[in-house]
Amino acid sequence: MDKITQIERLLLRSRRLPWVLTGVTLLILAATILLAGLQLRARTREQIAGRDGEILHAVALLHWEADAPEIELLGPITDPDNQLPVVLKTSRLLKSVVATRLFDANGRFVRAFPPDVQEAELEPRSLPTLRGLKPACRFLSAVPMSVLFLPVEEGAEPDKTIPLLEVNVPLHTRAENRLIGIAQFLIEGQSIATDFAQLDRHLAVQGLIAFFVGGGILVIAITWAFRRLRQAHHLLAERTNSLLRANRELALAAKTSAVGAITSHLIHGLKNPLSGLHNFMSNLAPPDAESPEADWPQAVAATRRMQTLITQVVNVLREEEAGAQYEITLRELTEMVSAKVRPLSVESGVRLITPLDGEAVLPNRVANLVALILVNLAQNALQATPRGNAVTLSLKKCGEQIVCEVRDEGPGLPPELSASLFAPCKSTKEGGSGIGLAISKQLASHLGAHLELKHNSPGGCVFVLTVPVTVASEKSSVLLQR
């Protein structure tokens, strides 16, 4: 039980867990999509920028092979003057080539075309790729014209920038797989910038679609999972409460059974001595016993009430043991209860009202137990009601149920007693045992009936006992079979 209670408390504390888990999951999903999008963007940009390098590399090889006989007549192919014509012929393939630079195999600047192109250094990280006889490309989103070309005149307009694609092509022959030079083509990159912008928009749209679709699926899955978990938690809580109630009822049943056994033994043992005591006190009453101030009449009346109560209990026990079976109407049941509580009503100066609505019959075994419950409730109501007020005991048939209601006009019950009203407790009445309502509740459960405190206020209390007719009949059959 302690473990179940701890789990219940833990689940009650984690009401924010679904929101936290959903937020963390969405953040992880967004980070994953963003990282994947950036990697895809980088690879795609590299492919877009590298396509011109592949074309220029292939064209340079073709021109190099075609012009090889003429170059050999002019001198060695490692001479930059012999390499420059092949590079310029290759640059004519693309109209957007702005300038061309020539580097040696070690990446040192040699010359450029047109002549006003600024000298520059080859990017160090491109050299290993070029030595592997593969082109290396780099896109520059904004390159100042002053960095690209020599200044024409002093006091010129502020420098403007252009997007630029830098394509570095290795120069080599097919026969000798060694690097003999590097040609750098500077291509106007507006078209590539447009391609990159379209790529970014496309990736952004795809990322948002993936995030909302995937996030929606995850939110639905998490919500469903926590709903199932919440249902399981409620079911666990209900079963825990049911187990606790069953445990309390079993404990109460054990106490009630023990009390019943002891009561039966005591009742049978006290019956004859109490009868003899009553006869003895009645026969030896002194001459002045009839005076109001004398205690003797009160003692005789007390023994008479005790004898009457014992007789009632003995009758119920005898019927349970004998197996006799007959039916009792609601009117007869009302008269039985009224006859037992009328002396207390007269003594306490409280009127007893017994309205009846409808007709029904109960087996005698069930009626006797119902009568015991109602007598206990009526006695409590009479003791709680001030002199001059009234207690109402009403019985009526509502469909397949018999509703018994006991209403008093007392001060009501303290709030602290409401939670444990039907549990054994210390009685606040002089001479009380504190188990009257607990036994009444157990007897009602034994019958398949329902006993509850329907109303509690400073103007009085209302106890309601609901007995299903069919359940009462079935219970009587089971008792008869025993």
What's this model's pTM, rounded to 2 decimal places? 0.45
**Cα separation, 254 vs 41, whole angstroms:** 77
Question: Of 362, 354, 361, 365, which is closest to residue 395 (Cα–Cα)?
Answer: 354
Give the CA angle between residues 53, 55, 60 to the nearest 5°.
Answer: 90
DSSP 8-state secondary structure symbol assigned to residue 158: P
In the chain, % of residues over pLDDT 70: 69
More confident residue, 84 or 77: 84
Q: State residue 478's pLDDT score.
A: 45
Nearest alpha-carbon partner for 110 in 70, 140, 80: 80
User: How far apart are alpha carbons 17 and 300 in whole angstroms?
Assistant: 72
- What mean pLDDT value characterizes the chain? 77
Please say if the pLDDT value at position 18 is more than 50.
Answer: yes
pLDDT the model gives residue 263: 55
The answer to whether 451 touches 465, Cβ cutoff 8 Å, is yes
The listed range with the strongest mean pLDDT (13-17, 40-44, 291-295) is: 40-44
- What pLDDT sits at residue 270? 57
Cα-based torsion angle of the residue sequence 469, 475, 476, 478 in order, rounded to the nearest 10 degrees: 150
Compute the average pLDDT of residues 8-20.
64
What is the C-alpha to C-alpha distance for residues 241 and 358, in angstroms, rounded to an integer? 37
Q: Which residues contact 433 (CB under 8 A, 6 or more apart)?
A: 427
The first and second tokens of residue 13, run together, are 């504390």
Which residues have CB under 8 Å from 79's CB, separation 6+? none
Instruction: Name the residue with higher pLDDT: 229 or 287.
Output: 229
**Look-up of token digits 């045992």:** 433
Best CA proximity match to 315, nearest among 249, 349, 364, 251: 364
Amino acid in the structure at residue 23:
G
pLDDT > 90: what percent of the chain?
A: 12
| pLDDT, tens digit (0-9, with 9 covering 90-100), for 445-459 | 877 889 999 988 888
- Is residue 188 a contact partner of residue 163, using CB atoms and an 8 Å limit? yes
According to DSSP, residue 122 is labeled -
Q: Which of 14-18, 359-363, 402-406 has the lowest mean pLDDT?
A: 14-18
Angle formed by the axes of helices 364-384 and 296-322, to 10°? 150
pLDDT: which is higher, 393 or 1: 393
User: What is the per-residue pLDDT across 177-232, written as a single tens digit (0 to 9) for each?
Assistant: 778 888 888 888 888 888 888 888 998 898 899 889 988 898 898 888 888 888 88
Q: Which pLDDT score, from 0 to 100, does residue 431 have? A: 38
Give yes or no for residue 44 having a pLDDT over 90. Answer: no
pLDDT computed for residue 87 by the predictor? 78
Map residue 385 onto helix, strand or coil: coil
36 HSE (CA, 13 A, CB side)? 12
pLDDT at 309: 56
DSSP state of 298: H
Contacts (Cβ under 8 Å, ≥6 apart) of 238: none
The average pLDDT across 455-475 equals 81
pLDDT band at 318 (very low <50, low <70, confident <90, very high): low
Which domains are delineated in the chain?
2-149+159-212 (3.30.450.20), 328-482 (3.30.565.10)
Q: Mean of the pLDDT values across residues 338-349?
A: 91
Q: Which helix (H) or strand (E) holds 7?
A: helix 2-13
- In 3D space, the residue among 453, 444, 440 whose CA is nearest the CA of residue 471 turns out to be 444
Q: Residue 480: its pLDDT value, please?
A: 43
Asked whether residue 463 carries a pLDDT value surpassing 90, the answer given is yes
Taking CA atoms, 211 is separated from 227, 382, 414, in Å, by 23, 73, 60
Confidence grade of residue 292 (pLDDT, cut at 50, 70, 90): very low
pLDDT score at 82:
72
Task: Give the mean model confidence (pLDDT) for residues 162-185.
Answer: 82
**CA triplet 348, 354, 356: central angle to 5 degrees?**
170
Task: Specify the pLDDT at position 3.
Answer: 52
Per-residue model confidence as pLDDT tens digits over 396-445: 988 889 999 999 999 888 877 776 777 765 445 543 434 678 778 888 88
No. of helices (H) and no. of strands (E), the chain:
12, 13
Q: How far apart are CA 408 and CA 393, in angstroms?
A: 9
Residue 101 tokens read as 């630079």
Residue-level pLDDT at 166: 87
Where b means 16+ CB within 10 Å and e means fewer, 185-195 reads bbbbbeebbeb
Task: Please check the confidence at residue 123 and state whether its pLDDT lies above 50.
Answer: yes
Please enumerate in sequence order all residues whose Cβ is within 8 A of that of 100, keeping only pairs 6 or more positions apart, or say none.
87, 88, 91, 112, 113, 117, 183, 184, 185, 186
Closest CA to 437 of 415, 406, 476, 472: 406
